[in-house]
Structure 1
Amino acid sequence: MATRAKERAVASGWANWSGSVVATEADIRRPRDEEELARIVAQATTVRATGAGHSFMPLCASDDVIVSLADMQGSMTVAADRGTVRVPAGWSLKYLTAALWDEGLALANQGDVNPQSLAGSMATGTHGTGRDLGSLSTFARGFRLVLADGRIMWCDDTENADLYQAQRLSLGLFGIATEIEVAVVPAFHLVERIEKKPWAEVRESFDALVDTHAHVEFWFFPHADQVILKTLDHTDACDPPPSSTDMEETAFRRFLNVGHLAPFMVPTLQRLMMRTPMKGRRRGPAHSIFPSDRTLRFEEMEYEMPRAVGLDTLHEVIERIRRRRLPVSFPFEFRVVAEDDIWMSPMNAGPVASISMHQYNRMPWRGLFADAEAVFRAHGGRPHWAKRHTLKREDVDMLYPKAEQYRAVRRSVDPEGRFLNDHLGALFA
């Protein structure tokens, strides 16, 4: 009965991608233009904007108004120097990168999925992997915002500069972006290679791999001794790949469902799965190689570690899981991200090693994440804002020297807290 009730709530209200954040009482609005959006915002008591719902934290949750920009399509304008474009903020990364490709342009980097909206990706610091490449937030050059009182304002590094600096990773606290100016590069092609490697070997050679390849990451099932290594490098022009994913999920789905029914089998299942052949190669336009289809639902926690301690931190967490035979069913994902200068970015203190911990959404995750989070925090990690974490206001102040300046900008443009919800109000009111 409880399960059916939850399913009805999700169907009639709003829920995030994993189904763990549900807003049953929200008034969902889909404005068709900026004027309608401004009217909705000005008339609301509180309002949150949502994209594809890929945040695991309750960033978009609201019992009042939730706004989707999916119906505000608009068009793209390419700058004369072809170094930037202005695009509707609600465009998905998939739609945006296809439109850029038609113009002979591309984003310099992407993450491994692309349904998210551009605005949502920048607002949360979404990133890919690459020694010299920052998060998508670092690509922002200006924003057109609907403010809390319905006014329209542009901000960039010279006009309303403090608002721009805060808005670069905004968590949706300063206004609703309707247009974003984005830095772009000439279109390019990538070759992707995937293979299994012993964990000990990858741990020893990872820094060299990062220096050798444009993009490198690996997935690590905590109860196995091999990792799945993925590299991306620039290549000659070629046709799109026949497959839209880096790895086929059918067998993995079976393992997950068995592990859900019998959690004690998870360690054995992972070792069996890693005995199967895993080697692949794809080539194609960058925007068709960076992302992959991800149909299996999960919960996720991600911590950005100082890069120098990333591998050791991962090793410590893995060893804790193994000693206690904990049923962590998904692999860890390990990437690197360049330093930036964004006020509330986890990368603003130096380059990071990004450690993503996942759990099948049909299995318990809170206790597992809490145990790992203690290790991440002890080694100086800071969480991805959209992934599961337990930061309190005092933690934010300790980790981010500009936190109070960030709050001051928020208060100046939204004194009544129209863009706050319970979660964000506890951190940034």
Structure 2
Amino acid sequence: MVYIAAAGWTNWSGSVVATPATLLRPTSEGELARAIAAADKVRVAGAGHSFMPLCDTAGLLISLDDMPGELTISADRTRATASAGWSLKRLTAALWDEGLSLPNQGDVNPQSLAGSIATGTHGTGRTLGSLSTLVRSFRLILADGSIVAASPAENPELFEAQRLSLGLFGVAVEIEFDVIPAFHLEERIEKRRFDEIAECFDDLAAGHRHVEFWWFPHADSVILKTLDLVDPCDPPRQRSDMSEKGFRRMCDIGAAVPMLVPYLQRSAMKAPMRGRRKGPAHVIFPSDRTVRFEEMEYELPEANGMAALKEVVGWIRKKRLPVSFPFEYRTVAGDDIWLSPMNAGPCASISMHQYAKMPWRGMFAEAEAVLRAHGGRPHWAKRHTLTRDDVDALYPLAERFRAVRRAHDPGGKFLNAHLAELFA
């Protein structure tokens, strides 16, 4: 078994730095199981797209990038099984080769399959749930190195908790999930006034398979994006929804002179803005997002979403805060997952971003209070300040979740400092 001395690990934005004692890139299930059994503390790192310290550990940090695995399809072609460490990019391309697709995706695809499911990653669509809702079974390595299956029929309590697990029960090595026949999408982007979109958003959400918008808080117009089914066609030449060149320049100017941020946003939104692409769904869903940022995301009852967004933006304008990134507003279907922020019903999803080179903590904390007041619950991988008492108040099944964790990891091997505060 080969361990690699770990010089340090950082997440995508650079704000989370882990200093594990060792880093392991196993190449077999047996090697992985022996390493887990021998370790005192274990966490697994995916693509680093979590903004909370979920991967932080002073013990063993595992990367599943070198694990073997293949895609298998059920006889009725409604389910697939893949290696948990595969990136969404690799997975969706392999599914496409089989004539299949995930029902939905977010707007980036480097995340691992296991990491996306463990944190409740989602796309947009009023009738479409998170990736966690697609899962039908797991193959897990537990703290003692034993390998178990978890499904509604086998270890059902473990399965229910593992659907959004934060990596607290074991290391997933294979995941079975729902798939649908491959489909194509047409993407349309246009500039619209916020007041107009706020008035008709319910109709837009009902009339399109996917709809979302981005709103620079100091501008009066939004960037509206819709995705709808289209007849089969070739991949587009443009592999991203929008160019980031001008936006990166605007962020750098704003970081150097924060007082210019409101002016820069209003000026940028005066430009014409219209785009159209169509192609395979797994090509159209993701886009390049290379301008580094920090993010907080809250899921709110859908009826409260627009009012919460207006209140947060109003507060930013009143204080002329230099929030460089636009807010992202989406819809997500409700689910029945114990620790899912969408388990109370259909949600509006509000994401607040800040350029990674600029301060964000104070702004996020104040905005979080507004979103909480409107019934919001945070995305587990995005910035939040929940305490154990908050978790208990927001999630009636939180203690049941903890009981399953204690039963399968009584020594707390998969806990780190952040997660121990909430789930020990």
Normalised-by-shorter TM-score class: over 0.9
Is the 8 Å Cα contact of residues 80 and 177 (structure 2) preserved in structure 1? yes
Distance in 2 of aligned mates of 1:348 and 1:159: 23
Pick the aligned partner of 1:296 from 291, 307, 317.
291
Q: 2:8 aligns with which of 5, 13, 30?
A: 13
Q: Is the 8 A contact 1:140 1:180 kept in 2?
A: yes
In the TM superposition, 1:146-185 aligns within 5 A as 146-185=141-180
Contact residue 73 and residue 91 of structure 1 kept, 8 A: no
Please tell me whether the aligned partners of residues 73 and 90 of structure 1 are also in contact (alpha carbons under 8 angstroms): no
Q: Quote the residue 1:261 is aligned against.
A: 256
Aligned to 1:73: 68
| Map of 2:364 onto structure 1 | 369
Q: Is residue 388 of structure 1 aligned with residue 383 of structure 2?
A: yes
Q: 2:212 pairs with 214, 217, 220, which one?
A: 217
Residue 24, structure 1, aligned to residue 33, structure 2: no
1:39-188 to 2 correspondences below 5 Å: 39-188=34-183
Q: Segments of 4+ in structure 1 off by > 3 A?
A: none
Deviation of residue 65 (structure 1)? 0.7
How far apart are 1:28 and its partner, in Å? 1.1
Quick check: 1:379 aligned with 2:374?
A: yes
Contact 2:100 2:182 in 1 (8 A): yes
What is the one-letter code of the residue matched to 1:147? Answer: L
Farther-moved stretch of structure 1 (64-73 vs 118-127): 64-73
Shift of 1:13: 1.1
Of residues 418, 423, 428, the one that matches 2:418 is 423
What secondary structure does 1:182 align onto? strand
- 8 Å CA contact 1:346–1:382 kept in 2: the answer is yes
2:187 to 178, 184, 192: 192
Aligned mates of 2:347, 2:21 — CA distance in 1: 37
CA distance in 2, matches of 1:24, 1:426: 19
1: CA distance between counterparts of 2:70 and 2:272? 45
SS at match of 1:271: helix
Q: Which amino acid aligns with 1:41?
A: I
| 1:215-254 aligned within 5 A | 215-254=210-249
Give the corresponding residue for 1:271: 266
CA 1:50/1:25 → structure 2, altered by over 3 Å: closer, same or farther?
closer
Structure 2 residue 400 is the aligned partner of structure 1 residue 405: yes
| Matching of residues 310-349 of structure 1 within 5 Å | 310-349=305-344
Q: How far is the alpha carbon of 1:317 from its aligned partner? A: 0.2
Task: Name the structure 2 match of 1:204.
Answer: 199
Q: TM-score, normalised by structure 1?
A: 0.97
| Structure-1 separation of matches of 2:21 and 2:318 | 44
1:157 maps to a residue whose letter is: P
Helix, strand or coil at the partner of 2:219: coil
Q: How many Å apart are 1:275 and its aligned residue? A: 1.0
Match of 2:350 among 341, 355, 360: 355
Q: Matched residue of 2:413: which SS? A: coil
CA-based RMSD of the aligned residues comes to 0.7
Deviation of the 1:24 alpha carbon: 2.7
Query: Quick one: distance in 1 between partners of 2:273 and 2:350?
Result: 22
In structure 1, the partner of 2:3 is: none
How far, CA to CA, are the matches of 2:423 and 2:79 in structure 1?
Answer: 31
SS at match of 1:35: helix
Pairwise CA distance, 1:73? 3.4
The 1-side partners of 2:245 and 2:68 are apart by 35
Q: Distance in 1 between matches of 2:182 and 2:20?
A: 44
Query: Would the aligned equivalents of 2:20 and 2:56 in 1 still touch at CA under 8 Å?
Result: no
Q: Secondary structure at the match of 2:77?
A: coil
* CA distance in structure 2 between the partners assigned to 1:150 and 1:53 by the alignment: 25
Q: What is the CA-CA distance between 1:97 and the residue it aligns to? A: 0.2
Cα distance, 1:12 vs structure 2: 3.1
1:323-380 deviation line (CA, Å, top 9, x unaligned):
0000000000000000100000000011100000000000000001001000001111
Aligned length: 419
Once residues 338 and 23 of structure 1 are traced to their aligned partners in structure 2, the CA distance between those partners, rounded to angstroms, is 34
